A and B are shown apart, each in its own frame.
Chain A
Amino acid sequence: MTNKKSVATISLAGCFGCHMSFCDIDERFVDLVELVEIHKSPLTDIKGFEKRVDIGLIEGGVCNDENVEVLKSFRENCDILISLGECAIMGGLPALRNNIPLKDCLEEAYLRVPTTPHSQNIIPHHEDIPKILDKVYPCHEVVKIDYFIPGCPPSADSIWIALEALIKGKEPQLAGVMSYD
Chain B
Amino acid sequence: MNKLSKNTKKINILLDGKEVEAQEGENIVELAKRHGIDIPVLCYYEGMGECLGTCRVCTIRWKRHHVSACTLKAEEGMDLTIETEDLKDLRKALIELLFVEGNHFCPSCEKSGDCDLQHLGLKLEMTVPRFHYRFNNRSINFDADKILFEHNRCILCKRCTHKFEDDNGERVFAFKGKGSNLSVEMNIERANGLSEELVDQVVELCPVGAILKKGKGFDRPIGKRKYDE
Contact A93 B107 (CB under 8 A): yes
Question: 5 closest A-B pairs (Cβ-Cβ)?
Answer: A152-B107, A180-B106, A148-B127, A98-B135, A148-B128
- Residues in B neighbouring A181, C-beta threshold 8 A: 106-107, 109, 112-113, 118, 222
Bound Cα distance A92, B108 (Å): 9
Residue of A at shortest CB range from B133? A90
Contact A180 B137 (CB under 8 A): no
Contact B107 A174 (CB under 8 A): no
Bound Cα distance A178, B118 (Å): 11
A-B contact pairs, 10 of them (CB 8 A): A92-B107, A93-B107, A99-B103, A99-B136, A138-B128, A148-B128, A152-B106, A181-B112, A181-B113, A181-B118
Chain B residues numbered 121-168 whose CB sits less than 8 Å from any CB in chain A = 121-122, 125, 127-129, 132-133, 135-138
CB contact under 8 A between A179 and B122, given known A89-B128, A150-B127: yes
- Residues in B neighbouring A6, C-beta threshold 8 A: none
Contact A91 B133 (CB under 8 A): yes
A32 smallest CB distance to B (angstroms): 22
A8 smallest CB distance to B (angstroms): 21
B167 smallest CB distance to A (angstroms): 35
- Give B residues with C-beta under 8 Å from A: 103, 105-109, 112-113, 118, 121-122, 125, 127-129, 132-133, 135-138, 222, 229
- Residues in A neighbouring B103, C-beta threshold 8 A: 99
Q: Which of A135, A141, A148, A180 contacts B122 (CB 8 A)?
A: A180
A11 smallest CB distance to B (angstroms): 16
- Residues in B neighbouring A180, C-beta threshold 8 A: 106-107, 112, 118, 121-122
Q: Hey, what's the 0/1 contact readout for A95-107 against B, CB within 8 Å counting as 1?
A: 1101100000000
Interface of B is mostly: loop
- Residues in B neighbouring A140, C-beta threshold 8 A: 128
CB contact under 8 A between A93 and B105, given known A98-B135, A180-B118, A181-B112: yes
The interface centre, meaning the residue of B112, B118, B129, B133 with most chain A CB atoms within 10 A of its CB, is B133
A149 smallest CB distance to B (angstroms): 7
Bound Cα distance A91, B203 (Å): 27
B118 smallest CB distance to A (angstroms): 6
Since A86-B107, A147-B127, A180-B106 are in contact, a sample of 8 more A-B pairs with Cβ atoms closer than 8 Å, ordered by chain A residue number, is A89-B127, A91-B135, A92-B107, A93-B108, A99-B137, A138-B133, A152-B106, A180-B122
Contact A178 B122 (CB under 8 A): yes
A105 smallest CB distance to B (angstroms): 14
Bound Cα distance A150, B125 (Å): 10
- Residues in A neighbouring B105, C-beta threshold 8 A: 86, 92-93, 95-96
A25 smallest CB distance to B (angstroms): 19
Contact A174 B127 (CB under 8 A): yes
- Residues in B neighbouring A149, C-beta threshold 8 A: 127
